[in-house]
Each structure stands twice: as C-alpha cells, then as structure tokens.
Amino acid sequence: MNNELLKILAQELATKVNSIVNIPFLTEEDEEIFFQLVILNVLQIVMSKFSKDSVN
C-alpha cells in the first residue's frame, strides 16, 4: 500500500479517535499528532506483515 495513502488513512482515523478519547494535559492538536503517529506506525507494521506473508 502506498505510504501516502497510509498517511491519509492514519489522519482520518486519528481524527475519529481524537474525537472520542481525551488525554489529560495535552492540547487537541498534540493529541491529534500523537494518534496519527501511533496509528501510522501500526498500519505500517500490519502492512509490512501482510507483504512478507504474501511473498512466502
């Protein structure tokens, strides 16, 4: 999957998660960035596992 597509998906998912979850002592913008990073990393790990499995 295209890395740019993963970034867009992570951003959309982070917005949804951020609307539900509140992390104390962080601004909404910082929460959004945090969720984007976490979700993007998870998506990249999952996609790398799928690409390795499809090769084997």
42 within some domain: yes
10 within some domain: yes
56 within some domain: no
16 within some domain: yes
Q: How confident is the model at residue 51 (pLDDT cuts 50, 70, 90)?
A: confident
The pLDDT of residue 56 is above 80: no
Which residues, other chains included, contact 1 with Cβ-Cβ below 8 Å and sequence gap of 6+?
47
Lowest mean pLDDT among 2-6, 23-27, 37-41, 49-53: 49-53
Put simply, whether the predicted model's pTM sits higher than 0.75 gets the answer: yes
Q: What is the DSSP letter of 21?
A: -
Containing domain of residue 36, as a range? 3-20+27-51
| Average pLDDT, integer, range 11-39 | 96
45 within some domain: yes
* Domains of the chain: total: 1
